[in-house]
Structure 1
Amino acid sequence: MLDIPSRVRVHVETPLAAQNDMGVCDAFEQYAPVREPDTMNAPHPPKVAGIDSTVPSPAHTVAPAPVTTGPPAVPAAPSASSGPGALLTDRLAGWVSDLTTLHELTERLARTDTLADALQELLRAGAALVGARRGLVVLEPADRLGPDTMIGLGLGRADLGHIETVPRSALSYGRILEGLPGGEGEIAEPDLFAEDGLDPRHREVAARLGYAASYAMPLEADGGGGRLGAAVWLYDEPAEPGERQRHLIGLYVRYAAEHLARLLEVERTRACMRTMTEELLPSRLPRVPGVQLAARHRTGPRGGGDWYDALPLPDAALGLAVGSVTGSGPSAVAAMGRLRASLRAYAVMEGEDPVAVLSDLELLLRLTEPARSATALFAYCEPTLRKITLAGAGHCPPLLLGERRTEFVETSVSAPLGMLACWEAPSVELEAEAGETVLLYTDGLLHRTGEPTDRAFSRLHAAAAGVPKSLRHDPGAIADHVLRTLLPDGAAGQDSDEDVVLLAARFE
């Protein structure tokens, strides 16, 4: 039989909180008895990464031996289910169970790719670890660059609104975010109603929402991100997490804060790209007698080169343009801004000849940015005559929508700008009837459907033909209906690599 020493020491490693995988790996470091080693040692179980040497032992205890006054009892035979070996096995089993749980929760968190999803996952996982049902997370980065938000678990918007009416200094997350005394680390409030100094408004809100205890933790990133916010979990009855629960939630929140810091940076970059793109597009559409205008634009997460424009021209004319620059990111957005500004200048000088406008634009693109190509469509409109003269360079044909017809405008086949040594294609003239709407769009609208090009065109035609008559007097309502029909389930607003541009002009 193995002679297992009564005193053993297990050497463990510090948890790698910054890594994506906190699960079981490698092998247990050999544990050695404090006294002289025996000739035989127990086999070494696998090593688990993420166990801290300060991890408190599980709540497993050995019953004390009873005190007797009679003759000494005959010692019982050693049992496999008792003794130091069994205690060590229980402790290791508890550690493995905890680390397996952390591994699963951090994997689920790592799969989130948006800030809102990561915050919800943080609340759900934290509630499971501390034994709560509800909670909230307040995101307020210390650098004041935003975004600021509050998300609840098991709490509606009205509930969060009630909580916000409590003075921040009386709330645990408020003390953390404001840097008040006692807000440097975790804050446990095991029985709110038993506290003498509880704010009256806090007492009222807690009674109304039905929580009696709370446990709050700061969200702090170690990689220079600083404080990101605070998370609070609420208990229905007086309670607080145990020592081991606090250790596990501490490991999880440390990893979650690093993940949130990365997503926060991505969110800020996306917001910056959206703002830059929107600033390069018209802030408002012009008002020209005889025509109503509406535009819808959705930008991809990395920023794309799709654009539109509408500008008044001499002799009460109107210039409409849509286009797309190849590529994505800041360089494509900057190229789009340069191309749009150049087209506006050419349109003012010779807008009545769309072919000349696009020819000048092609020459500029070929000389200044030879490695880039673009598609564009320019239309010279005379609203009083409802006459349109347009030319396209590798762009999708416009769609004419009226009470008696829904058809694509026949345009000549032409190459995109920058693809040939010299671009030129004939223009097309058409006359719109009173009440008809011309839809100009970029190919991103078709690509987001996920369908082949011919099927995407058919779906666009069907979506335009299906606009109810009650909406056809409003170009904005027409554009919204086409987007909802062509891109259901909110696909028009979802992040996608493709930009979407839809410009609607209704002639009176």
Structure 2
Amino acid sequence: MAGIDPTVPSPAHTATPLPGIPAAAPAPGAQIQDRLAGWVSDLTTLHELTERLARTRTLDEALRELLRAGAALVGARRGMAVLEPADGHGPTTTIGLGLAHADLGTIETVPRGATSYGRLLDGLPGVPPPDRPPASDPAPDPAAPAVGASPAAVPGPLAAPDLATPDLAAPGPAAPGPGASVPAVPDLLAPGPAAPDLAAPDLLGDERLDPRHREVAARLGFAASYALPLDAEDTGRLGAAVWLYDEPAEPDARRRHLVGLYGRYASEHLARLLELERGRAEIATITEELLPTRMPRVPGVRLAARHVPGARGGGDWYDALPLPEGALGLAVGSVSGSGPSALAAMGRLRASLRAYAVMEGEDPVAVLSDLELLLRLTEPARSATALFAFAEPVRRKIVLAGAGHAPPLVVGDRRTEYVETSLSAPLGMLSCWEAPSVDLVVEPGETVLLYTDGLLRRIGGPVDRAFARLHAAAAGVPRADRADPGAVADHVLRLVLAGASPDGPDGGSAGGRSGRRGQDGDEDVVMLAARFD
């Protein structure tokens, strides 16, 4: 090319080394810096993944996050997690990542003992691939301490480095020369004892596998798998997770160690969530047993009840009992506090109110006055709200009184409005409770909704906005659903709890009780619907 003399030698700093002359030695400490950089990167990754896992609140959320994080650590795209506590008390579930429900069902058709996750759950030993050492035995690290070294000299998986400040005045070690070796740096994330994981690097080519296993792998398009047990220190085996590769592959020793560390933390987190889930289930069972098992049949009125338990378990309740001469007593209430003690107090108050309603149900004020006296004598440190209505379905007349309770809502073709009740304090708040009752006459086809304060707290925001949202939901009930009190209650709850419980309540037949447990809400919700013919 014109203007360039090819005979001009290259600059000295770009010239190739002459033969026979050794290359420049690497900068002192380069190996140390590289290993520390890798160690910091791995710790940062584990920290971010465990932070995301710690924010999960349910078992399903935690299992999904475990699958996503594990897939990133082992380099897989799909996977499944099986929760099956070894104590047999449940709950049991299977969660998939990149697998549809039909795919999970297809995998479950493989004999349990032939799958890696099934062998882990059943405590069966794994079989290493043929003609190769077990993948769970990593190659020895030349920088690792020799066998038989003192345990104190062996760094743990997440042991912090020695950050002692050196004496700057003391003479440091001489820099290594060109031919000197750099001192070995212990890998702070070096693999410890091998985890009882199972790797199948070539499912389609391993003749020892069950034929059904290879058939399912070919049908679903995965060629390798890596399974990890989920073991907690106190509860033992909780389940297993397995990740699927599209091509023959298996994670190396570093990836296995990282996912093993993450799996141990995830197992402890799952154990805590499992304990919470079992506690919630027990509280929900006790609550359901304390509430009415069915609604009474009274001519002229149809009833339906819905109960959406909160995460902590509360003392919200409802009741409907037939009274003499075709009358009907309707009640809803809420006891302060949560947990088993609140449930016990709720059961006592509900049973007492039934007795008072039979004796003097025509006077709701007297019923609540007796209930307030009982509360002050038996539960002096507890308060409660309650609403009791004495209904005569044939006359479509209702007399009701409330103690610190939200007003009922009347839903009909011509009106949707709140009942104007008198303001009063909750039971147990004053030395003597008494408030005037309110008379209400409903039109044929109208539905009266009684609910607890937990519904307003679940809606959130200012109280007036919560009331407005509840009113709008009731006014928007489709005309075809207004003949069914259960459909009315389901529609209202589905709309107002859309933010707190995305799945909404389950549907159910009128006169029954049903509801999906709201995982995202701490407050109990009770709704009692009475449609007058």
Aligned residue for 1:357, secondary structure, equals: helix
Question: What value does the CA root-mean-square deviation take over the aligned residues?
Answer: 1.8
Matched with 2:210 is 199
Structure 1 runs not aligned, ≥5 long:
1-70
How many Å separate the matches in 2 of 1:173 and 1:249?
16
Q: Compute the displacement of 1:197 (Å).
A: 2.6
CA apart distance, 1:505: 0.2
Deviates more, 1:129-138 or 1:453-462: 453-462
Residues 101-155 of structure 1: CA deviation (Å, up to 9, x unaligned): 1122112212222221111111111111111000000000111111111001101
What residue in structure 2 maps to residue 214 of structure 1?
225
Work out whether 1:505 is the aligned partner of 2:530: yes
Query: Any idea what the Cα deviations from partners look like across 1:286-314, whole Å, max 9, x if unmatched?
Result: 22221111111112111111111111222
Q: What is the CA distance between 1:231 and its match in structure 2?
A: 0.5
2:458–2:500 CA contact under 8 A, matched in 1: no
- Compare 423-432 and 373-382 and name the one that shifted more: 423-432
C-alpha displacement of 1:279:
1.5
Q: Is the counterpart of residue 73 in structure 1 residue 20 in structure 2?
A: yes
Q: Structure 1 pair 350/191, CA: closer, same or farther in 2 (3 Å)?
A: same
- In structure 2, the residue matched to 1:245 is 255
Question: Which residue pairs with 2:160 in the alignment?
Answer: none
Q: CA deviation at 1:487?
A: 2.8
**Aligned residue runs from structure 1 range 454-473, under 5 A:** 454-473=464-483
Counterpart position of 1:478: 488
Kept after mapping to 1: 8 A contact 2:306/2:527? yes
Cα gap change, 1:75 to 1:465, in 2 (>3 Å): closer
Letter of the 1:356 counterpart: A
Name the counterpart of 1:175: 119
Deviation at 1:415, TM superposition (A): 1.7
Tell me how far 1:427 sits from its aligned partner.
1.8
Find the aligned partners of 1:387 and 1:458 in 2 and give their Cα distance: 26
Whole-angstrom distance in 2 between the partners of 1:205 and 1:288: 57
Letter in 2 for 1:209: L
Q: Please say if residues 312 and 523 of structure 2, whose CA atoms lie closer than 8 Å, have aligned partners that are also in contact.
A: no
Secondary structure of the 1:192 match is coil
Q: Which structure would you say has the larger RCO, counting Cα contacts within 8 Å and 6 or more residues apart?
A: 2
Per the TM alignment, residue 371 of structure 1 is displaced from its structure 2 partner at its CA by 1.0
Deviations along 1:391-437, one digit per CA (max 9) or x if unpaired, are: 11111111111112222112222221111222122222222211111
Describe the shift of the 1:72–1:409 C-alpha distance in structure 2 as closer, same or farther (beyond 3 A). closer
Structure 1 residue identity aligned to 2:25: P
CA contact (8 A) 1:484 1:490 kept: no
Q: Compared with structure 1, are the counterparts of its residues 191 and 77 closer, same or farther at alpha carbon in structure 2 (3 Å cutoff)?
A: closer
Q: CA deviation at 1:234?
A: 0.3
The question of whether the paired residues in 1 share the 8 Å contact of 2:311 and 2:519 is answered with no
| Counterpart selection for 1:442 from 441, 448, 452 | 452
Residue pair 2:299, 2:393 contacting (<8 A) in 1 also: yes
CA displacement 1:23-61 (0-9 Å, x = unmatched): xxxxxxxxxxxxxxxxxxxxxxxxxxxxxxxxxxxxxxx
* Structure 2 CA distance for partners of 1:240 and 1:430, relative to 1, 3 Å: same
Instruction: Give the TM-score of the pair, scaled to structure 2.
Output: 0.78
Greater CA deviation, 229-238 or 304-313?
A: 304-313
TM-score normalised by L of structure 1:
0.82
Q: Counterpart of 1:61?
A: none
Deviation at 1:88, TM superposition (A): 3.4
Tell me the equivalent position of 2:47: 103
Q: Is 1:303 matched with 2:313? A: yes
Alignment of 1:400 with 2:410, yes or no, is: yes
Which AA in structure 2 matches 1:329?
A: G
2:321 counterpart of 1:314: no
Structure 1 CA distance for aligned equivalents of residues 217 and 21 of structure 2: 60
Q: Displacement of 1:494 after TM fit?
A: 4.1
- Among candidates 247, 254, 257, match of residue 264 of structure 2: 254
Instruction: Please report how far the alpha carbon of residue 346 of structure 1 lies from its aligned counterpart in structure 2 after TM superposition.
Output: 1.2
After alignment, is 368-377 or 349-358 more displaced? 349-358
What secondary structure, in the 3-state scheme, does the structure 2 residue paired with 1:327 have?
strand
- The separation in 2 between residues aligned to 1:455 and 1:247, in whole angstroms, is 53
Counterparts of 1:407 and 1:245 in 2: how far apart (Å)? 63
The residue aligned with 1:112 is 56
What displacement does 1:72 show? 9.4
CA contact (8 A) 1:389 1:430 kept: yes
Distance, in Å, in 1 between the alignment partners of 2:54 and 2:475 is 44
Q: Following TM superposition, by how much is the alpha carbon of 1:87 offset from its aligned partner in structure 2, in angstroms?
A: 3.0
- Check 1:199–1:484 CA distance in 2 against 1; reply closer, same or farther (3 A cut): same
SS state at 1:495 partner: coil
Change over 3 Å in CA distance of 1:342–1:172 after alignment to 2: same
* Shift, 1:345, TM fit: 1.4
| Aligned AA (2:420) | E
